[in-house]
Amino acid sequence: MPEQENTPFRTATVTRTTKETEIRVTLSLDGRGISSVNTGVVFFDHMLTNFSRHSGLDLSIECKGDLDVDDHHTIEDIAIVLGKAITDALGDKQGIQRYGWSIIPMDEALARCALDLGGRSYCVFNAEFNRPVIQGFSTEMVKHFFVSLAESMKANIHLSILEGENTHHKIEALFKSFAYALKAAVAVTGSGIPSTKGKL
């Protein structure tokens, strides 16, 4: 199980070590989009760097994974640790907007994301890709990353490609759309818990 270290409010450091991966994630929800990402999967590094830049989260990810097997464990386990770090940084979620959504174009591609940090895990993903692999990143893992992230974050994540042909453009648009949706959802816009239940 991931272990959290003591860190200030709206920041978190989470580590996780298994026989397949060794991961450390540090983030700040109120950052400037500064990142240092080293997963061993070049295209995945590019996507996570874009995610940090466009979400405004400061993000550090270090991972040593069994890439001699394939990229599955690395990508899945980073989603687990990243989701835990985001959840830990949110604390009791006092005053957050809770919901976020965005529609992001990238050339011919158009991606949509809607997000709810309401404490329930669910992922709806609608996208198809023409290329099976980009620089060591299996495109089938895009869906699995967001499904694993939704479970770890206890969030609803709905992602769709509305238009597009180029696989790189579609995947990057999905990550950027998620970034802007998350940026809105974690923003502190009020006080109290944004739920009639009184708890998220």
Predicted confidence (pLDDT) per residue in 135-179, tens digit: 999 999 999 999 999 999 999 999 999 999 999 999 999 999 999
Q: Which residues are within 8 A (CB) of 196 and not within 5 positions of it... i.e. 6 or more apart?
A: none
What pTM was estimated for this model as a whole? Answer: 0.93
CATH code for the domain defined by 3-186 = 3.30.230.40
Buried b (16+ CB within 10 A) or exposed e, 164-192: bebbbbbbbbbbbbbbbbbbbbbbeeeee
Gyration radius of the chain's alpha carbons:
16
89, two tokens: 């940084």
pLDDT tens, position by position, 98-112: 999 999 999 999 999
Q: How is residue 6 annotated by DSSP?
A: P
**Alpha-carbon span 178 to 72, nearest angstrom:** 21
